[in-house]
Structure 1
Amino acid sequence: MKQQFKPKQIAQICAALALLNPALFTFAQNSPTTVIVTGSRFEENLNQVPANVNIITREEIENSSSNTIPQVLSQIGGLRVSGLNSSSLNLDASVDMGGFGPTGNSTTAVLVDGIRINPIDSGNVDWSTIPIDSIERIEILQGGASVQYGNGAVGGVINIITNGGKKNINQVSASYGTWGTSINNAIFRNTVEKTTFQISANTSNTNGWRPNTAANAYSIDAKIFQDLGGGDRAYIDVYYGYTNSKLASPVLGLVGSGNPLSVSPEDAGNNYTTNNLGFRQGLTKSMGENYIFEVDTSYNNKTSFYYTPQADYFVSLDPSDIYSYGYAGSPMNNKLQGWQLAISPRVKANFAGIGTTIIGYDFSKANQAGSSTYSPLSQSIILANQKDYYYYNNLTHDSQNATQINNSVYVIQKIPLSKVFEASGGFRRQVQQASTTSTSVYAANGTVNNSQQFAANAGDIALNANYLPGQHVYIKWNQSFRFPNVDEYWAFGTNPDGAYELVFNGILQPQTTQTYEIGGNWSIWKSKITSSIFKSMTQNEISYNPSTGANYNSIYQTNRGGILLDVATNITSSFNVGIGGKYQKSYYANGPYSGNPIPIVPDTLLNARANYLITSRWSVGGVVNYVSNQYYDSAPNYYSATPVMPSYVVGDIFTSYKFMGIEGRLTIKNVGNAQYSTYGTGMGRFSTYSYYPSEPRSVFASVKYNFN
C-alpha cells in the first residue's frame, strides 16, 4: 500500500498540528452544568451519568474539515467509520462503536433528538436526511445502553440533537471540490416570542473519483419548536431525503495492488436510489414539582431501487455452453418498500430521599416488502426451463415481506447514597413478533410463511462518584441485546432441489452482550478528559458467513475489551488541541476458532485535531486519523493470520478567513494522498482477496454567508 504518511510518523504529525494548527473555537468543556439527554432519555447533568459520553458542539462542527456527519463522527468523535462507495458524500457510511466488524452498524443505535433512525434491515443509516447545518450538538455514548434504547444499543449510541435554543441562525454555504463535487447547505432558524421556526436543506453532487461512483443527495428538514412555559415544550419535525448513487466493483487483490480505477464490466451502470420521508414529534410536560412526562412519536417511509443493467452479462444462448445455457441472469430491478411507526411515552419521578425513578414503554411496528424482477431475456429463459433448470410455478420475479412488532417496558432507578455517591440500576424487557412471507422463481415448494416470537432482557447496575464539580468516576455492569434485521431472515444457500440461491434462513434468536466498565470524566486545567476501560462477552452473536452465504447465531462466545481516551484542551483562547484513541481486542473466546480476531476490526484508532486563531479573522486547523491493520472479511473457517489489511494515516488541513458575515475556506482532504481501504474481503468458497479503495487527495473551496 502506497502512503506518504507512515504509522511511525503519527507523533510527528500530531506535534506539528499542535504547534502549527491550533483552534478557532474552544473545544466543548464539560462544565458542572453541562446537560445531556442520552444517558436516561431525560435531561440530566453530564456528571450524573455513569457512562463514557462525549459531546460534539455545533461550533466544533463548523470549525472542522468535515463536510458530512460520518466525517464529523470520525474526525471529531474518533469513531470507526467505513464504507464501500468512498465518495466525498459518504452515503453508505457505517459506524462500528463496539468492535463488531461486519455487523457494527447493527450494534450502534443512531438517534435524532432521541428517536431511533436505524433501518430494520442491515442497510446503513440514511445520513443524508439530516442536513449538517441543522445539528446543535452530537452526544456519543460508548458502551451498551439497551435499558434506555432497547434493540441494537450494544456498542454505543449516537444522538444527533437538532432541537437548538432560541438563538437565530440564518446562513447559507457552498463548497466545490475535486471530481466535480459540490456541497451546499442552508439553515434559517428564527424565534417569534415562544415559537421557533427552523428549516434546513442540503444538496450534494459528485462525479466520483472512480468510474461508476457518481452520487447526489438532496434533503430538507422543517421543524417547529414551541416553548410552553415552565420547562414544558413540544416540537414537530418533517423531513425528506433523496439519494442516487452508483457502486463500482471492488479491486481484485490485496489492498494497494491492482488498478483502483478499474471496474468490472458486469457492474457498469449499477444504480441505487432512495426516497426517505417522515416526521418526528415530541412533548415534554411537567406534572407538579416532582413529575415529568415525555412522549415521542415517529413515522418513516423509505423506498429503495437498485438497477443492474448488466444483469444478463453471464447469460448464454449457446446450447454447447454446459455451464450457463438454460440459466437466467440475476434480477435487473430490485425494489424495497418499507415503513416504521414508533411511540415512546415515559415518566420521570423525583422522590425526596429515595431518588429518581423513570418508567417507560416503547412500541414500534415496521414492515418491509421486497421484489426482484428479471429482464425480458431472463424471463423467457425461466418460463422455457420450468423444472429442468430449477425454475418453478411460472414465476418471473422474487418477493419477500417481513413485519416486526416490538413491545418493551423499562425502569431506571437512581438512589443517592451521599453527596458524592449515587447508585443506579435499570431493567428492560422487549418482546419482538416477526412474520415473513417469501417466494422465488427457484422455490419448488412455492410461498414460504413463517412467524416467530422472541424476547430479550437488558439490565444495568452502576455506582457513580461525583466528587468535585466537573469530575466524576463510575463503575458499571450492563447487559444489552440486538434482534436480527429483516434481511438476515434470508441467505444464500441450497434450496430443496440443490440449487445455490436465495433461501429462507429462519428467524434468528437475539444476541446478548454483558459488559463490565470503569471510567470517568474530568474538566480540569482548561481541558476535558474522558476515559473508560471495558470488557464484554457476547452470546448467540448474529453473524454472516461469506463462504456459505448463511446468516446464523454463533454457538461460540465472542469477547471484546479495551480502553478509550479523549483529551481536548484550550491552551489559550486561540490555541486548542485534542487527542484521542481506542485500543481494543475483538476475538472468539472458545471453540475451534478460539483466539481468532473478528474481521474488519482494527485494534487501534488514534485521532489528533487542532486549530489556531492567527488573527480575529484568519484561522488554520487540521485533523489526523490513524487506523491500525485489520483482518479481511472472511468466514471463521477461512481465517488466516496473514495477509492483513494494512494500517493507514489520513490527515486533513484547512484555513479560513472571515470578513463581516462572509467566511471563505480552503480544505485539503487526505493531504498525504494515502492509498487505503476501510473494507476488503478475504479468501472463501465464493470469494478471493478484494478491496474497495478509498478516496485520494481532494481540495475544496467553500464560502459561507451569515445573514444575522
Structure 2
Amino acid sequence: MQLRFLLILALGPLLRAGAQESGGEGRLDPLVVEAEEENEDSVLPGHPAGNATVIGPETIAESGARTVADLLVSRGGLRLTSTSGNLDDSSVHLRGFGENSASRALILVDGRPINRADMASVSWLEVPLARIERVEILRGSHSARFGDNAVGGVINLITKSGSTTSTVVEAAGGSDGTLIARASYQNSFDGHRLGFDFENNMTTGWRDNAFSELESVGIRWDKDFSDRLAADFSLSWADERGGIPGPLTKERYLIDPRQSIYVQSGQADQYFSGQNRWLAESAITLGDGDDLAFEIPLSYYQRDLAWNFGPGFHTDNLLETTTFNPRLTLHRDTWSVEAGVQFRRDTLDLQQYAEIQRFNRTADASLSRDILGAYASGEWEPWKNWHFSAAARWETSSVNAAARSYPFPADPSLNFVRGNDESNTALQMGARWEPADDLSLWFRYDRLYRLPSTDEIASYQGFPLTVPFNDQLRAETGHNFELGGEWAPGHWTLGLNTFAQWLEGEIIYDFNQNLNVNLADTHRVGLESTLGYTSARWSADLRHTVLQAKFESGPYTGKEVYLVPNHELTATFSCRPVDDVLLQAEYQWIGSSFEGNDFSNTAEKLPAYDVINLLVRYEPKPGLSLYFRINNLLDERYATVKYSGVWYPAAGRQFLLGIRQEL
C-alpha cells in the first residue's frame, strides 16, 4: 500500500508539469491508440468495437526490453505468470483466465496463429524482439474472426519487412549472466524487399537451474510483380534451451526463493528442455490494388523438443503444423468484407525413455488434430460516424490419438487408439459511434468457443488420467458483451470498457477425478479503465482492471475461480528532461488470488504484489542510444503462481545495460 500511495503522490506533479507544456506532439507512442496506418499484417479493424492496444515501433526501440514478454508487461499492461522465474516461458492472462490461460489467448505472428495443439505456452523467445515491428492487443473474445483460442483476447506480433531501409544492431549484458546480441536489416533492391534478423539471447536465470538460451535467424522476402500480383516468403530457425527449477514449499520459499529443489537434490541435469524450430511461410496475392485481393497463404512449422522432467521422464516430441488460409477481401468507400477458408493440421509424435541418454524406450504416442473452418467478416458505415461490424465462423475439428506402453502393454490406460470429432460456430456483432474526432463509443456481442487441447483430451505424455481418452470432453462455448468508450481531448486519453462473459462447460482439471472435465459454467464481469497523457516531454499511461470470475454451476457454485486476481494495475511514466535523455518508470500491482486447485476458496491465498522497474536511455547522437534498465527495483519477493501450498517464485532485482545503433 505504501508503494501505491507514493505512486499517486508522484503522478500529480508529473501530469501538472506535463499540462504546462506548450505545443509539439509527443515522441512517445500512447499506449491506447487506433491503427493509424495500413499494414497488411494488421488484424485491427478500421474502427474497432472494443478495447485495443498498439505498441508502436518507437516504443519498442526505446523499451530496453529483453524479450517480447518483457514488452507485453511493461508497455502492454498484461499479466504474465511463470513457473521458472523467467518470463521467456510465461503464460499470458487476459480477461480473468487463470489455469491454462495460454489456451485462452490467441497469439498471432503477422496474422498467423502460433498456439500449440497441446496445453504448452508459446515460447516468447520464438519471435525475437529484433524481428518485431509492432504489437497489437485485442482484449475480449474474437472467436468469430480468428477461431480457436481467442476466448480472452488476441495478441498479434507484426514483424519487420523490407518496405523501409534500416539496419539496427544491439548488444546488452546484465545480472544473472544475461547477454544479448541482436541485429536486423531491411532494404529494397530492384523491387525486391528483403529483411534479415539475428538474435542471441541467454541468461543463467534469477533462480537456480532457470537458465534460458536462444539462437535465432530469420529472413523475409516480398515483391510486387505487377499491380495485380505480389508474393512473399519467409524462413526462420531457432534453437532454444531452458532449465526447470521446480516449486518450493513455503518454508523453502521464505528462506531462499532463488533455490531449486532439483539442484538441492543433485538432479538439476535431469530437469531441462531443448528445442529446435523451423518455420517457412509463403503467400501469393492477386488483386487490383487496395480494393480487391485474393491471398493464398501457406505455412509449415516444425518443433523438435527434447523434454526432461526428472529421472524416468524423458520425452522427444516432434510437432508439425501446416496451415492454409485462402481468403478474399473487398474494400469500398463505406464497406469492406473478408471471407475465407482456414485449414490447420497438427501432428505430434512422442517417444518416452527411462533415462536421459535415451537407451530404453518406455512409450510411444502419436496424435493428429485437423481443424477446417469457413468464415466471413465485414464492416459497414451506413451513416457518417456510425460503423457496424459483423463476423461469423463455422469450424469442425477432429482429434485422433494412439498410445503404446512397452513395460505395460496390457494396461488400457496406457495403450489406446481413439478419436473424436466436433463442430462449432461463432458470431460477432459490433457497433462504433464517433460523434466527434476525439470521442468514440462502442458495443459488441460475441458467441464464442474454445476447443479442448490434445492433452486435455488424451493421456499420452507419461501422466495417466482416469480416462485415457475423454471423448466426452467438448468445447467451451459462451457469450461475451462489451460496452465502452474513449475520449481523447488534446494530449489526454481516457477509456472505459465494461465486459461480461458467460462460459458454458469451462474445461478444468479436477484433481479429485484426475481428469480434465467440463466442470462448470462460469461468469466473468469486469471494468477496464485507461488514462493517458502524452506531450513533447511527458508521457503517462495507467491501466486498471477490476474483475470477478465465479463458478455459476456445479459443486462450487458461487466460489471464485482460482488464480484470478480481482485487481490488476499497470502504469508507465516517461519524461525527457532534455532531448537526448529518456527517463521511464513502470509500475505493476496485482491483487491476491486463490491458489491453484482451491475450488472451495479456503486455502491460503497467493498474496498481492507490486513491482517497480526503471529505465534510463541516452541518445548522444541520432540513431545511437545507451540504456540502463532495472527490473524489480525494490527487490520485491513474490510469486505469480501457487498450487496446493507450493510456490513458484518470480525474479528479484535484475539489471540490464545495453547499446543500440540504428543506421
TM beyond 0.5: yes
Quick check: 527-536 or 234-243, which moved more? 527-536
User: Whole-Å Cα distance in 2 between the matches of residues 199 and 250 of structure 1?
Assistant: 39
Matched, 1:551 2:516: yes
Distance 1:268 1:400, change over 3 A: same
User: Whole-Å Cα distance in 1 between the matches of residues 493 and 284 of structure 2?
Assistant: 32
Q: Which residue number in structure 1 is paired with residue 364 of structure 2?
A: 399
1:491–1:550 CA contact under 8 A, matched in 2: no
Counterpart secondary structure, 1:72 = helix
Provide Cα deviations, 1:660-702, integer angstroms capped at 9, x if missing partner: 34321111111011001111112xxxxxx11111111112111
2:581–2:617 CA contact under 8 A, matched in 1: yes
Q: CA deviation at 1:135?
A: 1.3
Q: Which residue number in structure 1 is paired with residue 69 of structure 2?
A: 70
- Of residues 354, 357, 373, the one that matches 2:353 is 373
User: Whole-Å Cα distance in 2 between the matches of residues 240 and 13 of structure 1?
Assistant: 45
Unaligned runs of 5+ in 2: none
- Of residues 296, 317, 320, the one that matches 1:336 is 317
Distance 1:5 1:110, change over 3 A: farther
- Of residues 25, 30, 33, the one that matches 1:27 is 30
User: Whole-Å Cα distance in 1 between the matches of residues 225 and 631 of structure 2?
Assistant: 45
Aligned runs of 1:523-602 on 2, under 5 Å? 523-554=488-519, 556-570=520-534, 572-602=535-565
Aligned runs of 1:110-189 on 2, under 5 Å? 110-164=107-161, 166-189=163-186
Q: Which residue number in structure 1 is paired with residue 82 of structure 2?
A: 83
Aligned runs of 1:485-500 on 2, under 5 Å? 485-491=453-459
Distance 1:156 1:642, change over 3 A: same
User: Whole-Å Cα distance in 1 between the matches of residues 357 and 330 of structure 2?
Assistant: 66
Q: Which residue number in structure 2 is paired with residue 465 of structure 1?
A: 433
Counterpart secondary structure, 1:60 = helix
User: Whole-Å Cα distance in 2 between the matches of residues 435 and 77 of structure 1?
Assistant: 38
Q: CA deviation at 1:469?
A: 3.0
Quick check: 418-427 or 431-440, which moved more? 418-427
Counterpart secondary structure, 2:648 = strand
Distance 1:558 1:222, change over 3 A: same
- Work out which of the two has the higher radius of gyration on C-alpha atoms and give 1 or 2: 1
1:617–1:658 CA contact under 8 A, matched in 2: yes
User: Whole-Å Cα distance in 2 between the matches of residues 691 and 98 of structure 1?
Assistant: 23
Higher relative contact order (CA 8 A, sep 6+): 1
Q: Which residue number in structure 2 is paired with residue 390 of structure 1?
A: none
Distance 1:574 1:349, change over 3 A: same
2:458–2:468 CA contact under 8 A, matched in 1: yes
Q: Which residue number in structure 2 is paired with residue 383 of structure 1?
A: none
Matched, 1:627 2:584: no
The alignment's TM-score, normalised by the length of structure 2, stands at 0.91
Q: Which residue number in structure 2 is paired with residue 324 of structure 1?
A: none
AA paired with 2:607?
A: P
1:168–1:191 CA contact under 8 A, matched in 2: yes
Quick check: 666-675 or 212-221, which moved more? 212-221
Counterpart secondary structure, 1:541 = strand
User: Whole-Å Cα distance in 1 between the matches of residues 210 and 331 of structure 2?
Assistant: 54
AA paired with 1:360?
A: G
1:255–1:690 CA contact under 8 A, matched in 2: no
Q: Which residue number in structure 2 is paired with residue 263 of structure 1?
A: 260
AA paired with 1:468?
A: A
Counterpart secondary structure, 1:91 = helix
- Of residues 589, 604, 612, the one that matches 1:651 is 612
User: Whole-Å Cα distance in 1 between the matches of residues 34 and 586 of structure 2?
Assistant: 25
User: Whole-Å Cα distance in 2 between the matches of residues 560 and 255 of structure 1?
Assistant: 35
Quick check: 691-700 or 482-491, which moved more? 482-491
Quick check: 398-407 or 219-228, which moved more? 219-228
2:31–2:76 CA contact under 8 A, matched in 1: no
Quick check: 213-222 or 545-554, which moved more? 545-554
Q: Which residue number in structure 2 is paired with residue 429 of structure 1?
A: 394
AA paired with 1:105?
A: A
User: Whole-Å Cα distance in 1 between the matches of residues 290 and 625 of structure 2?
Assistant: 46
1:14–1:608 CA contact under 8 A, matched in 2: no
Provide Cα deviations, 1:453-502, integer angstroms capped at 9, x if missing partner: 1011100122221323354211111012111111212349999xxx9889
Provide Cα deviations, 1:605-652, integer angstroms capped at 9, x if missing partner: 11111221122222211211111111111152xx33442111111111
Matched, 1:363 2:343: yes
Identity %: 19
User: Whole-Å Cα distance in 2 between the matches of residues 674 and 275 of structure 1?
Assistant: 35
Q: CA deviation at 1:157?
A: 0.4
Q: Which residue number in structure 1 is paired with residue 627 of structure 2?
A: 665
Counterpart secondary structure, 2:125 = helix
Counterpart secondary structure, 1:182 = strand
User: Whole-Å Cα distance in 2 between the matches of residues 351 and 205 of structure 1?
Assistant: 49
User: Whole-Å Cα distance in 2 between the matches of residues 664 and 694 of structure 1?
Assistant: 27
User: Whole-Å Cα distance in 2 between the matches of residues 612 and 376 of structure 1?
Assistant: 52
AA paired with 1:422?
A: H
Q: Which residue number in structure 1 is paired with residue 277 of structure 2?
A: 276
The alignment's TM-score, normalised by the length of structure 1, stands at 0.85
Q: Root-mean-square deviation (CA), in Å?
A: 3.0
1:492–1:549 CA contact under 8 A, matched in 2: no
Distance 1:514 1:177, change over 3 A: same
Quick check: 524-533 or 50-59, which moved more? 524-533
- Of residues 448, 455, 463, the one that matches 1:480 is 448
Q: CA deviation at 1:286?
A: 2.3
Distance 1:13 1:547, change over 3 A: farther
Distance 1:32 1:290, change over 3 A: closer
Aligned runs of 1:204-243 on 2, under 5 Å? 204-228=201-225, 230=227, 233-243=230-240
Provide Cα deviations, 1:316-351, integer angstroms capped at 9, x if missing partner: xxxxxxxxxxxxxx33x2111110000111112346
User: Whole-Å Cα distance in 2 between the matches of residues 352 and 578 of structure 1?
Assistant: 34
Distance 1:665 1:378, change over 3 A: closer
AA paired with 1:73?
A: L
Q: Which residue number in structure 2 is paired with residue 316 of structure 1?
A: none
Counterpart secondary structure, 1:129 = coil
AA paired with 1:540?
A: G
User: Whole-Å Cα distance in 2 between the matches of residues 198 and 107 of structure 1?
Assistant: 32
User: Whole-Å Cα distance in 2 between the matches of residues 468 and 31 of structure 1?
Assistant: 15
User: Whole-Å Cα distance in 2 between the matches of residues 481 and 368 of structure 1?
Assistant: 23
Counterpart secondary structure, 2:365 = strand
1:423–1:462 CA contact under 8 A, matched in 2: yes
Provide Cα deviations, 1:395-428, integer angstroms capped at 9, x if missing partner: 9512221101111001224343311223332211
Quick check: 541-550 or 223-232, which moved more? 223-232
Provide Cα deviations, 1:151-206, integer angstroms capped at 9, x if missing partner: 11110000111144732221211111111111221111112343221111211111
Q: Which residue number in structure 2 is paired with residue 314 of structure 1?
A: none
- Of residues 401, 405, 422, the one that matches 1:454 is 422
Aligned runs of 1:657-696 on 2, under 5 Å? 657-660=618-621, 661-682=623-644, 689-696=645-652
User: Whole-Å Cα distance in 2 between the matches of residues 523 and 432 of structure 1?
Assistant: 43
2:161–2:186 CA contact under 8 A, matched in 1: no
Q: Which residue number in structure 1 is paired with residue 292 of structure 2?
A: 291
